[in-house]
A and B are shown apart, each in its own frame.
Chain A
Amino acid sequence: MTHDNPDLSRHAEERLDRLLAGWARERRLSPARAEKLRHTVLSTSASHVAPVDLGSAWWRGLLDPLVATLSRTEAATLSPVGPGFVSGPASEASGSHASEYRAYLRLA
């Protein structure tokens, strides 16, 4: 990165470039250190980041255990969400679908 510096001789410029190149090799963030830093960041803060879109399978995995738990207690504890949604979509809701739908509305 030699510069045209009127205050420095060509000899000094070249020596400075060599010194700085050696210094940079020693002091810059090495690939190994960079990878370690990246790993630390991603591993220590994963729980703080909301996923943008992890797909339906991920959401099902997240919700299913909760839905199952809620469904077991649904009959005893859940009251209708609202007058129009007592049993979810009337034409399709039946049995476990209805209880899962009410549980989903509670979560939402």
Chain B
Amino acid sequence: MTEGRKPVADDSDPVACFDSIYEANSRALHAYFLGRTSDPEAALDLSQEAFLRTWRNVSKLRVLSPERRRYWLYAVAKNLVADHHRGLSSRRAARQRASAETRWTRDREAGPQGALESRERIEAVDRAMQALPEELRTALTVRVLGGLSSPEIGEALGVPAGTIRYRISVARRHLAELLRLDEEDPGG
């Protein structure tokens, strides 16, 4: 999923350079946007905008190392999310958070979910994810959906790898609690 240490040889071709950046970062960046917004539609829109900016700046990016490109990309992504939160969609996000909190309470009262069908399980994870604090959700989402390691996430976000590991661990603990996984342990 991640690039090597040096830009690929054909980076003088703008499309090849863009493809190299896109291949290395599209999945993780989409995961980042999904983690930050909890909104699949917004995650796609923001991914598109981030890569439009990448394409417009490809002649500058081609001289950077893969690590610097990723750092640049996530700096753009942070700004896009800030704009998103400030914009009209922030009201929708607020409604989603309130709705998620309501569902969290309802789910905790509903009991074990071991018998749920696959679709319901996925939706249950969706709801639990939405109920997580944003920075915990983002770290876990980029790890699980994006496939980046803690050092890679930390490098992209400008956060120590140990902090990312801690966030992921706490996020998992919260998820297990929200999904009541421990209560279904057949061993007791």
Contact = CB atoms under 8 A, between A and B. Distances in A.
Q: Which interface residue of A13, A26, A41, A51 has the most chain B CB atoms within 10 A?
A: A41
A48 B48 CA distance: 15
B35 to A, nearest CB: 11
B44 A11 contact: no
Contacts of A11: 181-182, 184-187
A1 B118 CA distance: 20
A51 B112 CA distance: 58
A72 interface: no
Contacts of B129: 23
B145 A22 contact: no
Nearest to A38: B22
Determine the main DSSP class of B at the interface with A: helix
A40 interface: yes
Interface in B60-104: 62
Interface string A43-69: 011001111110000000000000000
A34 interface: yes
Nearest to A50: B59
Interface string A17-51: 00110111011110001100110111011001111
A44 B19 CA distance: 15
A23 B126 contact: yes
Contacts of A26: 122
A19 B55 contact: no
B14 A34 contact: no
B101 to A, nearest CB: 20
B182 A41 contact: no
Interface residue tally of chain A, by bracket? 35 or more
Given A41-B48, A41-B51, A28 B30 contact: yes
B184 A15 contact: yes
B30 A8 contact: no
Given A5-B172, A23-B122, A52-B14, A15 B52 contact: no
B169 interface: yes
Nearest to B50: A41
A16 interface: yes
17 contacts: A1-B143, A3-B172, A8-B181, A9-B182, A9-B185, A19-B124, A23-B129, A27-B126, A28-B27, A29-B30, A29-B31, A40-B48, A41-B22, A41-B48, A41-B55, A48-B55, A49-B58
Given A16-B175, A22-B125, A52-B13, 4 more contacts: A15-B184, A22-B121, A28-B27, A52-B62
Interface of B: 12-15, 18-19, 22, 26-27, 30-31, 34, 40, 44, 47-48, 51-52, 54-56, 58-59, 62, 118, 121-122, 124-126, 129, 143-146, 168-169, 172-173, 175-176, 179, 181-182, 184-187
